[in-house]
Every structure is written in structure tokens, then in C-alpha cells.
Amino acid sequence: MSTPSSSIESTLVENRVFEPSEAIRKAARISGMEAYNALCAEAEKDFEGFWAQRARETLTWSKPFTKVLDESNKPFYKWFEDGELNASFNCLDRHMGTPVENKTAIIFEADGGEVTKVTYKELLAKVSQFANALKARGVKKGDRVVIYMPMTIEGVVAMQACARIGATHSVVFGGFSAKALQERIQDAGAVAVITANYQLRGGKELPLKSIVDEGIAMGGCDTIKDVIVFQRTPTACNMVAGRDSFMHDVMEGQSTDCPAEMVSAEHPLFVLYTSGSTGKPKGVQHSTGGYLLWANLTMNWTFDLKDNDVFWCTADIGWITGHSYVAYGPLAAGATQIVFEGVPTYPNAGRFWQMIEKHKCTIFYTAPTAIRSLIKAAEGDEKVHPKNWDLTSLRLMGSVGEPINPEAWMWYYKHVGGERCPIVDTFWQTETGGHMITPLPGATPLVPGSCTLPLPGITTAIVDETGNDVPNGAGGILVVKKPWPSMIRTIWGDPERFKKSYFPEELKGYYLAGDGAVRSADRGYFRITGRIDDVLNVSGHRMGTMEIESALVGKTDLVAEAAVVGRPDDLTGEAIVAFVVLKRSRPTGDEAKAIAKELRDWVGKEIGPIAKPKDIRFGDNLPKTRSGKIMRRLLRSIAKGEAITQDTSTLENPAILDQLSENN
Ligand code: PRX
């Protein structure tokens, strides 16, 4: 069980409550707790009828569904299966002939500050043209396409174009290494990769295409027939004859009209890889109908979207947040959104505030790790404090990806939101497709550090190890009791792992989120206490400890054994600490530093820079029980610098604890 950051513990005594103002409540779609409770009661009374009505109202179907939920092969639930629709049609075509047609869909701000805007009509033309280009290259319904692109309009176009022709996309975050990319291409059996020559971040030009080349060259990617390259910068890149082409070349001459391919609601819209508790990332498979329903509906519920909103979700399209709240949700809901290529600290840590002012952003959705780093920057330099910008356009703010500590919440509320804007602390996961537990801005009284209550129709609960409810105030395992439309459908190519990971028998068939949680005694509000499996959350990025361990022991010339744990970190939430036994004697001093650097770079190459351990400790051995099991709870204490108070009587080699506690 990974330990949540200590500062989060202060929520236990949190008693500040922020009620929605009268004005916000009156203007909201779900207005007041009575309205929220009424929706929950409606879902409780007629579960399928509740979802059917939302699906009919929220989406446009080319063929209406006749059955809502198929539970005949649990836990492989199916929603709206005989209905047909297309996700791209629902994000673009559906708005044609309405006032949204000529509305700005995307305000793109490049790393260097240049701004490009596209309307819904223009975006539809681009997506159609690229969809036609993909078809001309032989990409068809059911094929998998890997997208390895920067945050750009073209990244969204690539995703939408795949959806338009019924190809299943798998976006790989641009920070992942060649090896990680190769594994994902292989696992998905992708026919094409869409990438860019370079990406621009923080004033630097970083390669993408050469990483694709390197990944494919590692072998096992024979399914790839095409690599399509968006030319982001003028810099040349290597192009392989017969395989590689430029996006602008393949689009040239293609029609801007491409009728959307209608697919079953259960057709896999995308597969997105995420970390689990084994070394191998899981390809989380999402549906078309249920997923899009939730992406759209939560835009209206959680963000209470209005026609004139300027929505900004800062997440990268390589993560689920960038799927649901950049590539699909805002477009399906007809919003104007900001897409940002760069990083929050370039050219200085005032960039977010400057952009909110410049684009008159009204809804801002970001991660606690970004907030914490901007607090630190503002405390160190007055000039990048949000008070220097006019942020009065903001009316609502959100948080996602990790627990937000009350101190950061209060700063965000006060200095960014001007004590005027509600904060929706949205708890959800790659697997859930969209928000699960979150305040509603016009209804829920806010408590800093708490994601409050589940959305209507979402049956989250806290149970013990046998699946029985625990009382409020007692901690336990977070589960979802009933299926929901946007839930993960399976793990790509591994249905057994899907069943085992998410629906363990002892939990009565409930969905196991993998987080610990506690409900407050007074309001029944949920507070997430952190992962209960071997998954870490570093700057809101999910990392499997086993994944990092297998990367480390993959350095076979050097490493004999490795164990990775998390340690609370004020800035990144958790930090990665690796305990390593080398095949040679234990290094100290400068030699230890040099080897630690070598290993860090190695992990960067194996997985990506986000997986590099912050701290590497060397030992002659690891603390093990007599039966040879590594005692991770002891390593967690050592990583935190805590005195060992746990029982060490089963330990084979107690002296090792002192050695590992030393900083070598
Ligand atoms: O531990 C929870 C944490 O992030 C995990 C999901 O990570 P991922 O699939 O990468 O999706 C992140 C974006 C949705 C969860 O199991 N988490 C996410 N949101 C919150 C959170 N923890 C506390 N509060 C949140 N609001």
C-alpha cells in the first residue's frame, strides 16, 4: 500500500466548507443539492432508464439502441450495443447548421506564444481531409493507429480522423521512450504511427520522429505500414522511403468531405496504456457510445458548460484527461477550448495566468502538481504571482490526477479564483473514462481536499477486504458497485487480466479502483488516500513500481536486484525511490553517484524521463523475509527517512536496514 503525502492527512481535521453562492447556484444546470439528490434518486429507481434517457439526449445516433445494458457476460458489460453512432460525427458534424458551426473550436497557443484559431467548420474540414488521407493509405475500420504527437491542433485532428473512419487510436504520451513506444505498437498491433518531426516544449525542440524510427527498429513492429509525420518545425528529419510520408502531403488533394463511418456503440474508440501492478502496461480499451456519453455529459454536469465559456484543460492528449477533456468532451459539447503546446514555467511561471487573461478563460482545469509548482514559483518571485494578471474571466476551476492538499486548494481558491470560483476536485481514472466523484459547482458545498460525492448514477462505495461496506469515518477500499457507461471494457488482448485486476472475486463483483478512501463522518464526503497497489502517482502520472524495477534489472551487466517504492514529495505528490543491489560490490561516494546517474538515464531510455527515480540507494542486499520476500513496507519507511518501528523479527538480514538508511 503506497502512503499518501503527509500533508494530505490534514484533511482529516478539515472543517472549512464553501457553499455555492446564490448566483452560481441559480445559474447552474444542476442547481442545489435537491437537484443533485433528485438525479441520484432517479438513477436509483430506474438505473437503465436513467442512462437510456441521457444517451438519447446527449448523443446523435444513426441507429437507435434497443437494449441499454447487457450483463450476460459480467464483468464484460455492454452498453447500448445495438445502437450505432460515430464519435467524430458527434463532435463535429452534429454542430453544422447550428450556431456552433462558426464558433471557435480550438484556440491553439504554441510554445512560443503564437495563436491559431479554428472554428468547428474548419476543424471538420481538416479532420475529414485527414480521414480521407488515412483511408487512401489503406487504414480502415478496426485497425489500430498509434499517435505519438505534441499538443497541437493536428494531434486532435489525428484522433478525430481515426474515430471518423472507425480506426481505434492509441495515443502514446510524447515523453515516453522508444522502447515504451515499441511495446505499445506491438501490443496494439498498430498499422500506422502518426507523429511529428519535433515537438516544442519550453523553448526546446525535442525529437519525436527519430524516437519512432528507433522504436520500430527494435523489432516486432512489422504490422506498421505507414508513418505519417506532421511537420511541426522546419527542421528536417529522417524519412524512410515507402513507409514515411508528411501529413501535409497525404492530405493534399483529399476532399474535405468524408462521411463518418457509423459503428456499434461498443466499437473500441481507443486503447490507452496505463500502469498497473505488474511490469507490463495495460491497454485500457474504451467504447464509443458509453465513453462519449460520459465525456459530453460531464462537461455539462461537472463544468456546467455555458455557450460563451472558454474552457481550458491543461492535460496532454497522451493521458486520459486529454482524451476526455480535450479531444472529445469539449468538442462533443460544442465548447471553445484552449489547447496549449508548452509548459507552465516557460518563458516564466506566470504563463498559465498570462494565458487565462489573454484568452479570457472561464473554466480552468489542471493538476495539483502544477498548482504546487506555481505556488512555489510565486512565493519565490513576486513577478509570477497570479495577482499580476487579470483573472476575473474565470468562473470555475478544476483539479485532477492526484489528491490536492488543502493548502494548495486554498491558494488556488484565493489567488487564482479570487475566492469567487468553485473548485471541482474530480476523482477518476484512465479506466473510468470520465469523472466519478466530484463536486457540482452549483450544488455541492466544497471541502478543501475532498472530491466530495459521486455523480448521479455512479455507485462508488468504501468496503473492507470482503466487499462489505465500512462506516463513514473508517478507511477502506474504493469500489464501484454497479457498471457505468464509460467504464473500461477490457484490457486489450488480455481479458483474463481485466477480470483479475478489476473484478476480484472476494469483492462481490464490484469494480476495484485500486485506491484507498475514507468518507467523512458528517457529510459522507469521499477523500482519496492514495493507491493501495504497487502504483505510484508522480506529478499526477501513474507509474508502476514493477515497471521501473523490471527496467532496472534489465540492465543486466550491472543490476542484480531492485525494489522501487514511493516517498511523499511536497511538489510531485510522490517521488520514486529505488533500492538497488549491484552485481559487483556496493559503491559509495562519487562512484555511487556516477552509477546512480547511469541507472537513471537507463530508466529514462527504457520507459521515459517521468519514470527516473529521484533517489537511488545501493545495498549489499534487500530486506527480505526468511522465505525471500522483499519487505517493501520497511523500504517505504527508509525512503521516508522514518525510524523503523515495524516488527522486523521475520527479517533474514536486519543489518541491511542500517546500510540502506545511509545515504551513499
Ligand atoms: O490514485 C488516483 C489518482 O489518479 C489515479 C488515476 O490515474 P490515471 O489513470 O492516470 O488518471 C488520472 C486522471 C484522471 C487514481 O487511481 N487520482 C486521480 N484524480 C484524483 C486522484 N486522487 C485523488 N483525487 C483526485 N481528484
Instruction: Name the grid cell of 117.
Output: 484559431
Q: Which amino acid is at 383?
A: K
User: Could you write out the three-class secondary structure of 198-236?
Assistant: EEEECCEEEECHHHHHHHHHCCCCCCCCEEEEECCCCCC
Residue 398 covered by a domain: no
Portion of the chain with pLDDT greater than 70, in percent: 98
The answer on 587 and 445 residing in a single domain is no
Closest CA to 189 of 155, 146, 228: 146
The answer on 549 and 485 residing in a single domain is no
pLDDT in tens, 348-397: 999 999 999 999 999 999 999 999 999 999 999 999 999 999 999 999 99
* Statement: residue 663 has pLDDT above 70: no
What pLDDT does residue 206 have?
Answer: 97
The answer on 149 and 61 residing in a single domain is yes
**Secondary structure element (H or E) that encloses residue 84, with its range:** strand 84-85
Tell me the whole-structure pTM to 2 decimals: 0.95
Ligand 1: lining residues by beta carbon, under 6 Å: 274, 320-321, 400-403, 425-430, 451, 513-515, 528, 531, 537, 542
In 451-572, the DSSP E strands lie at 460-463, 475-480, 490-491, 511-519, 526-531, 535-538, 541-544, 559-569
Residue 349 covered by a domain: no
What pLDDT does residue 664 have?
Answer: 53
Q: What is the CATH number of the domain that holds 594?
A: 3.30.300.30
Q: Which amino acid is at 174?
A: G
Instruction: Name the grid cell of 484.
Output: 457505468
CA–CA distance from 637 to each of 613, 634, 648 (Å)?
17, 5, 12
What pLDDT does residue 5 have?
Answer: 35
* Statement: residue 10 has pLDDT above 50: no
Q: Which amino acid is at 147?
A: I
The residue behind cell 466530484 is 438
Structural domain harbouring 648: 539-661
Closest CA to 398 of 355, 366, 362, 357: 366
The answer on 484 and 601 residing in a single domain is no
As a whole number of angstroms, the distance between CA 651 and CA 492 comes to 40
* Statement: residue 586 has pLDDT above 50: yes
In 329-416, the DSSP E strands lie at 336-340, 363-366, 396-400
* Statement: residue 11 has pLDDT above 60: no
Residue 384 covered by a domain: no
pLDDT in tens, 515-557: 999 999 999 999 999 999 989 999 989 999 999 999 999 999 9
**Secondary structure element (H or E) that encloses residue 601, with its range:** helix 589-606
Q: How far is the CA of 502 from the centre of ligand 1 (A)?
A: 16
> Considering only CA atoms, which residue is closest to atom 14 of ligand 1?
429
Is 559 annotated in some ligand binding site? yes
Residue 404 covered by a domain: no
Among 272, 518, 529, 537, the mutation site with the greatest number of ligand 1 atoms within 8 A of its Cβ is 537
Mean per-residue pLDDT of the chain: 95
Residue 413, SS3 per DSSP: helix
Residue 366 covered by a domain: no
Residue 62 covered by a domain: yes
What pLDDT does residue 13 have?
Answer: 58
What pLDDT does residue 278 have?
Answer: 79
The answer on 552 and 459 residing in a single domain is no
Q: How far is the CA of 180 from the centre of ligand 1 (A)?
A: 22
pLDDT in tens, 152-183: 999 999 999 999 999 999 999 999 999 999 99
> Considering only CA atoms, which residue is closest to atom 6 of ligand 1?
429
Instruction: Name the grid cell of 602.
Output: 537507463
The answer on 67 and 175 residing in a single domain is yes
Q: Distance between the two ends of the chain, CA-based, in angstroms?
A: 26
Q: Which atom of ligand 1 is nearest to the CA of 531?
A: 1
Q: What is the CATH number of the domain that holds 141?
A: 3.40.50.12780
- The region of weakest confidence among 93-97, 278-282, 431-435 is 278-282
Q: How confident is the model at residue 647 (pLDDT cuts 50, 70, 90)?
A: confident
Residue 377 covered by a domain: no
Q: Which amino acid is at 5?
A: S
pLDDT in tens, 593-646: 999 999 999 999 999 999 999 999 999 999 998 888 899 889 999 999 988 888
Strands 363-366 and 396-400: parallel
Number of domains in the chain: 2
Question: Would you call the peptide bond into 150 cis, given omega within 30 degrees of 0 as the criterion?
Answer: no
As a whole number of angstroms, the distance between CA 364 and CA 627 comes to 51
- Read off the pLDDT of each residue in 318-339 and give the average, rounded to a whole number: 98
What pLDDT does residue 9 have?
Answer: 43
The answer on 308 and 184 residing in a single domain is yes
What pLDDT does residue 649 have?
Answer: 82
pLDDT in tens, 452-486: 999 999 999 999 999 999 999 999 999 999 999 99
* Statement: residue 653 has pLDDT above 90: no
Residue 286, SS3 per DSSP: strand
- Read off the pLDDT of each residue in 487-503 and give the average, rounded to a whole number: 97
What pLDDT does residue 42 have?
Answer: 98
- Read off the pLDDT of each residue in 103-115 and give the average, rounded to a whole number: 98
The answer on 576 and 460 residing in a single domain is no
Q: What ipTM was predicted for this assembly? A: 0.99
The answer on 330 and 190 residing in a single domain is yes
What pLDDT does residue 4 have?
Answer: 34
- Phi then psi dihedrals of residue 257, to 5 deg: -120, 120
Of the three residues 515, 548, 576, the one that is the final residue of a domain is 515
CB neighbourhood size of 397 (10 A): 23
The answer on 36 and 119 residing in a single domain is yes
Q: What contacts 611, CB < 8 A, 6 or more positions away? A: 543, 547, 548, 551, 576, 603, 604
The answer on 433 and 301 residing in a single domain is yes
Residue 167 covered by a domain: yes
What pLDDT does residue 172 have?
Answer: 98
Q: What contacts 345, CB < 8 A, 6 or more positions away? A: 202, 351, 373, 377
The answer on 137 and 61 residing in a single domain is yes
